[in-house]
Each structure stands twice: as structure tokens, then as C-alpha cells.
Chains A and B, each alone.
Chain A
Amino acid sequence: MDFINALIVLLNYTVIPALTYGSQLALGAIFVTLIYGILRFANFATGDMMSFGTMFAVLLTYYFQSKGISFGFLPTALLTVPFAVAMMIFYMLLIDKTVFSYYRIKKSPPVQLAMVSLGVMFVTQAIIRIIIGPTDRRFLDGEKFILKASEFKEMTGLNEGLTIKSTQVITLVVTIVVVSIMFWFLNKTKTGTSMRAYSDNEDLALLSGIDPKRVVMITWIIAGILATIGGILYGLDKSYRPFVYFNNMLPIFAAAIVGGIGNPYGAFFGGYVIAFAEIFLTYAYKRFFVYLLPESLEPNSLMQLLSTDYKFAISFSILVVVLLFRPSGIFEGKKI
């Protein structure tokens, strides 16, 4: 019994939150990796682009709520996804047309494009703050919990409760659906294949008649979908605040590089690697060991490896270690 209790503690406080956070990071990391692989630059506006899409979801949620439209027990924000995605794609294509395409046609070095993305970051951040302001916003409505701790205790008769928030399930389900559709698209359709060809060898792809404009456009569209959905899921699970989204760029970059930048599968797993590392290394295991060990051996400290203040620092340290020993990422991305 104690063993099951210990497992439930671990599941409740580490595994489920890590899976949720990992999925949100994974969507962002695939976004980074797609832009890097196909458009060939590190996009420093990542966090703010995710924030931009989410902003529309937040505003539309408020609008829908004021009109009395709801999605039953699901959050209203899910209804706004198509509109937010559409706005996001429009913004991204506009930015590409006015800013990035000039340097792509000129074949500027990737560093220059990265610098340009800094400019896009500043502008996007300004637009977001002017439209919605810098404050913290919650836009989750509908059922909050699928399984409450007390219900679980009654059901199983265990000491420890298991809580499952609806946002956690939504995050996992949506991520699995979106990512599988994306991988199917990249691997099985003709457009997806042409995108991969363009990523591998631009000149050969052009020779075989692939239209670069179309590839770029579709990349931005997929990126827009991923960024918006990733941003909305994060906002539903925690809350929406522009500054936090900007900062999320850092673990997302770490996830993309750990997985091997340019490799979407790697980015997907990289997200979970970062999330699990962050949560497992900062969790206080005292309660877990209290169940497992005999009373005489019970720990009197928190049994915490690192304080939660170092959450971000952990993911960055992982990145440094990976860069040192396996510079092309765990799953072998593009060559550095």
C-alpha cells in the first residue's frame, strides 16, 4: 500500500505536471526547429510570437464570454483557436513579406537573420503590450478538474490523492493530435516531402522544381499553428503574461538544441527532457521517501536536490552539457 502511495505522490507532483509542461515546450521547440531547419535562422522572436497568438485567444475568449458563448465543460479558449491561428498566420506572413524575405533572397548569413529577428521581437513585444498590456491574465473557464484529490481518495481508499486538471488532459490530447498530424504531413504528403528536401539541400530542391515561396509559406503556416496552440495551452494551464512568454523562449531554445536543432522529432523529445529534468531535480522527495523507507530511516530534510529557484538554470545547464559532449544534440540534428 505504501508503495502505491509513494507512486501516486510521484505521479501527482512530478510526472503529470512534467508531461504537461513538456508538451507545451515541445510545441514551441518544434516551431523553433522548423524555422531553423527550413528558413535557416535562430528565431529570437519565438516567445513573443507565441504570445502574439495567445493574445488573440485571450481577447476573443473575453469577447465570447461577454456574448454568452461557451464550450460547455471545455474552456472557451478552445473555440477561439481557429481565429487566433488565422490572425497569427496573417501576422507571420506579413512579417515574412516585409522583413525576412529581403534577407532570404539576398542570401544573408544566418547571423544577420537572427539579428533581424531581434527587431521583430522588439516590435512584436511592443504591439502586444500596447494592445493587451503587461498584466497577468487568466482565461480558463469550464470545468477545472477532471479528478479531484478527495474523489480519488474515496475511490481507491489510498492516503494520497491524485488530482488531474482538465488543462493537463487537454494539453496532452491536443499536443498528441497536433504533433501526429504534423509528422504525418511532413513524412507522407508531397508538400511535406518537398519541405524536407528544401531543408536538406536547397539547391537540389530548387533544381527538382520545388517552389521555394510555397515551401516558405507553408513553413510559416505550420509554425503559426504550433506557436499559437502551444501558447494557448501554456496560458490555459498557468496564465497569460507577456513577460513570461518572452522568458519561455529560453527553455524552448534549450529543448530544441538538446533534441538536435533542425530535427522535429528531436525537438519533440527535447521538450520532455527539459521538463522532466526541471521538475525531477527540483522536487522535494520527502513525502515519497516517507512512504518507502521504514520509520527509523525517515528523512528529516526536504530531500530536494536543488531549490525550485533554479528551475530555469537546470535546463540551461543541461544544454551546456549537451553542447559540450554532443554538440549536434541527443538526436543528431543539423551539423554545427
Chain B
Amino acid sequence: MKQYLNVIAAYSIMLVLIILVGIFQSWSIALSIFNYCMISAVMTMGANIQWGYAGLINFGIMGYTALGGLAVVLVSVAPVPEAWHVGGLNMMISLAVIIGMVISIKYILKKIQKSKKRNYLIAAIIFFGLILIKLISGPAIEHIEAVEPAKFGFLGGLGLPVLFSWIVGGFFAAGLAYIVGKVALGLRADYLAIATLLIAEIVVSIIKHEDWLARGVKNVIGLKRPAPYEIDLQTSPWFINLVEKFHSTKLATINSLSEKQDLLNQLVIDASSIYVKLCFAGLFLVVVIILLIITQKALYSPWGRMMRAIRDNEEAASAMGKNIVKQHLFIFILGSAIVGIAGAMMVTNDGLFTPGSYRPMRYTFVIWVMVIVGGTGNNFGAILGGFVVWFLWVQAAPMALFIINLFTAHLPETNGLKVHLIESAPYFRFLLVGIGLLVIMRFRPQGILPEKIIKQ
């Protein structure tokens, strides 16, 4: 019990902070912060598996998150039959060509000795394959994008339940991680960081500009939800009765019938948004707990010990007969898959897919700050990092505004400096997170909750 005291203390403080937001701002804001904290926690756990367990830097979190989001669109959105009719066949043929290219290149790599001839052959396959794809898919893409561009203009998805897409998102991210890992894992640490950062950028730019796939920067809105819709709740009698019962004392104090009805309506609207967020919170909590149990078990299993051994001394682990390349690839895929799940969760929570919003600042660097601040190699630390940093990231602007108002209280409202500072309040989040990272790196480099190795 004693060894978990700091964990419990840290989590209690975090929970109290969120409850305080609920009391002073609103419960709806508190719950959306809580949900986003949980999504961040899942991303952080993914990054922590790679960095904390194995010492691999993955600055491509953004790419895996975006792929997870793409999975939601491709799985849950209903298919667009007209688009499939005008261009589906050609797109399928293009896909077959790509698969054919990959298989033939693999075959050549296996069968022909390393030589100039082999390189030319591969280059020729790629060159002619790309031309073929362009010829086949070019007109099809034009036709697909012309199908009601304001509403569709893409192939649509499979129309399956949205929860299924979380798993698919994990698999998408795992697939990308396999390719990236094969290409880049042999590189030295900082090269790996740069390479993964740039590959993620390539992935996002493809999602952004291939409109036939997921409408690109035109966004997909109104995605399915695993939770009820607010509008439906507001009209269902059982929910209204529930709210009435919950607030019976408050309602009883009002005598006028019309005022009572107005208040009840307002309460029902507030309660419906809270109810939906609670549903999401429950779902996310289940995911976080399942992942936590699995990662915790893995960390203290023989496999986890092997990973730590590889991280701390590659040569020694290799001398003990561990296949380092294979294990690195495996853990890279595993961590990325978790990030992919988080990406799918986030898009489901928002109900919309906006490829333009995937930027390295928000989806790579902030997640990394979470990992480092929380505690590398400690799953509880990673989750805590997700909570703390996301809380700061969201609450920095109100806090900055409060402090600015406090210090400039004696200045008139029209004072240039005051106006400028109040306008730039949102940017204090960068300052806060940056200084937080620098302070932690300097004075507590192992994070708030350091890695704990249980001796057996």
C-alpha cells in the first residue's frame, strides 16, 4: 500500500482539480476536460510503451492519431453508392496494382542478388506502377469527387457500428508502424525522431489531399456515436422525469407553472449534454482500465524485463540471445496501435473528422510533454501526465486571463498593454507547458511518478 501512496495522492489532486472546474466553471466543461484527459492518457500510454519500455523515440504520434480518425470514417460512415458506381471499380483496380507492386518488389528482393540490376528493376516497377495508377485512378477520382461535392464527394465507409472502428484504427496504425519500423528503426535516436516526424507529416498530407478517401480538408461531420444524441434525450419522457426527480427540491421552490417549465427545459438541455459526456467517459474509462491492466501485466512479465534489458544495454541483451530488431519492431507496432485507438476515440468523441487540424504541435509534441512530465516507464505516470498536461493546456488561458486581470487591475480598460495581453491569453498555454517541461527535465528528469522496478 505504502508504495502506491504517491500514485494515489497524485491522482486525488488531479481529480479534485477537475471537480473544482465542475463547481466553478460548469460540469459540462469539467466532463469534456475529463474525456480529453482520458484520450490523451491513452495516447500517452502508447508513446510510453515505446519510449519508457524500449527507449524508442516516436515523433509520429500525429500520423497514427490521424489514421485512427480515418478508420472511424472508413468504418462507420454509410457507403455512397453513386460514388462507388462511378469510380469504385477503378479505385479497387488501383489498390490491386499497389498490392501487385509490393508483392513483386518483395519477390525481386528475395530472389535476385543485391546488384545494380535489381535496383533498376525495382525503380522501373515503381515508376511504371505509379503511371498506371495515375491513369486508372485519375478519371475515377474526378468522378467520385463530383458526386454531390457539398455533401459526399467520397467513397464513404462500410456503415458498421462505430465502436468497431476503434479496433480498426488500432490495426491501421499498426500497419503504418510496421512500414515505418522497417524503414526507420535502425536509425540513431534523434534521426529516428526526425524521420518519424516527417513520415507522419506525409501521412497527414495524404489524408488531407485525397478527397475521394475521406473528403480531405472538407471534413466529415455528423459521425455515428456510441452514445445517445442530445436532441433525442431532450424529447424522451424517461430522461425528463429523471431530471425532474434529480432537481425536485429546486423545482419545488418555484410557484409559477410557466417559470417551472422554463427552468425544467433549461435543466434538461444541460443534463442531456452531461449525460452524453458521461456515456463517453464510461466508455473511455473501460478502454483506459483494460489497457492499464494489459500494459501493467506486460511490464512486469518476463517480456517486460527483456524490454528493459534491451533498453538499458542492447549489446548485453543481444548477447543473451534476444532478437533486438524484432523486439523493437514489435513494441513500435504495439505502441502505435494504442495511439491509433486513441485517435479513433477522439474522432468518435468529437463526432467529426477534420484532417486540417492534425498538426505536430498538438498531436506530437504535447503528447511527448505528457510522457516526460508524467513519468517514463510508469503506466500510472503516463496516464497522470496525460491528465496534468491536458488540464494545463485547456485551463492555461483562463488562468492567464485571471493573472493578467489581477496585475493590470489598476490600468484602464483601454490601456494598450492590457488589451494586447488579454488578446494573447490563449498563447500562455505554450509558455506554461514549455516551462513545465523544462522544469521537470531539470529537477525531476524521471517524471512526476518515476519508473518503479519491483524486485521479485
Binding site for B on A (CB under 8 A): 41-42, 44, 99, 102, 109-112, 114-116, 118-127, 129-130, 133-134, 246, 250, 253-254, 257, 261, 307, 309-310, 312-313, 316-317, 319-320, 323-324, 327, 336
Report A266 CB to chain B, min CB distance, Å. Answer: 15
Contact of A114 among B193, B202, B206 (CB under 8 A): B193
At the interface, yes or no: B197 with Cβ under 8 Å from chain A?
A: yes
Nearest A residue to B55, CB-CB: A111
Point out the residues of chain B lying under 8 angstroms from A320, CB to CB.
183-184, 195, 198-199, 202
Are the C-beta atoms of A123 and B194 separated by less than 8 Å?
A: no
**Is A133's CB under 8 angstroms from B423's CB?**
yes
Question: Contacting A313 at CB < 8 Å: which of B193, B194, B206?
Answer: B206
Which residues of chain B come closer than 8 Å to A111, judged between CB atoms? 57, 189-190, 193
Residues in A whose Cβ lies below 8 Å from that of B427: 125-126, 129-130, 134
Q: A118-B369, A309-B208 are contacts. A257–B194 as well, Cβ < 8 Å?
A: yes
Assess the A126–B434 pair: CB atoms within 8 A: yes
Nearest CB on B from A37, distance (A): 13
* B431 pairs with A123, CB closer than 8 A: yes
**A317 with B187: CB separation less than 8 A:** no
Among B237-245, B405-413, B435-443, the one that faces the other chain is B435-443
Give the contacting residue for A317; candidates B202, B365, B423, B434; CB below 8 A.
B202
A313:B205 contact, CB within 8 angstroms: yes
Residue of B nearest to A125 (CB): B430
On whether the beta carbons of A123 and B430 are closer than 8 Å, the reply is yes
The bracket for how many chain B residues form the interface is: 35 or more
Contact residues of B: prevailing secondary structure: helix
Distance, CA A186 to CA B286, complexed state (A):
59
A323: which B residues are within 8 A, CB to CB? 183-184, 187, 191, 195
Q: Is the CB of A122 within 8 A of B365?
A: yes
B209 in contact (CB, < 8 A)? yes
Question: Is the beta-carbon distance between A118 and B430 smaller than 8 angstroms?
Answer: no
- Residues of chain B touching chain A, judged by Cβ–Cβ distance below 8 Å, are 57, 183-184, 186-191, 193-195, 197-199, 201-202, 205-206, 208-209, 361, 365, 368-369, 372, 421, 423-424, 427-431, 433-435, 437-438, 441-442, 445
- Would A246 and B441 count as touching, CB distance under 8 A? no
Chain A residues with Cβ below 8 Å from B209 are: 307, 309-310
- Nearest to A327 among chain B residues (CB) is B187
Instruction: State the majority secondary structure of interface residues on A.
Output: helix
Partner pick for A316 among B199, B431, B434, CB 8 A cutoff: B199
B368/A118 in contact, CB under 8 A: yes
Which of A109, A316, A336 is the one whose CB lies under 8 Å from B187?
A: A336
Identify 11 residue pairs between A and B in the complex whose beta-carbon atoms are under 8 Å apart, listed by A's number.
A122-B369, A122-B433, A122-B434, A125-B430, A125-B434, A126-B430, A129-B427, A133-B424, A250-B201, A257-B191, A310-B205
Whether B188 pairs with A126 at a CB distance below 8 angstroms is no
- The answer to whether B194 touches A42 (Cβ under 8 A) is yes
Q: Which residue of B lies closest to A307 (CB)?
A: B209
**Is A114 a contact partner of B365 (Cβ separation < 8 A)?**
no
Q: Which residue of B lies closest to A118 (CB)?
A: B365
B184, B206, B427 pick with most chain A CB within 10 angstroms: B427
Are A130 and B434 within 8 A (Cβ)? no
The chain A residue with its CB closest to the CB of B130 is A305
Set of chain B residues within 8 Å of A110, measured between Cβ atoms? 189-190
Are A119 and B437 also in contact (CB < 8 A) when A126-B428, A320-B198 are?
yes
Contact between B195 and A120, CB atoms less than 8 A apart: no
* Nearest CB in chain B: distance from A35 CB, A: 11
Q: How far is the CA of A324 from the CA of B195 in the complex (A)?
A: 11
Could you tell me the distance in whole angstroms from the C-beta of A243 to the nearest C-beta in chain B? 8
* Chain A residue with Cβ nearest B190: A42
Could you say which residues of chain A place their CB within 8 Å of the CB of B190?
A: 41-42, 110-111, 114
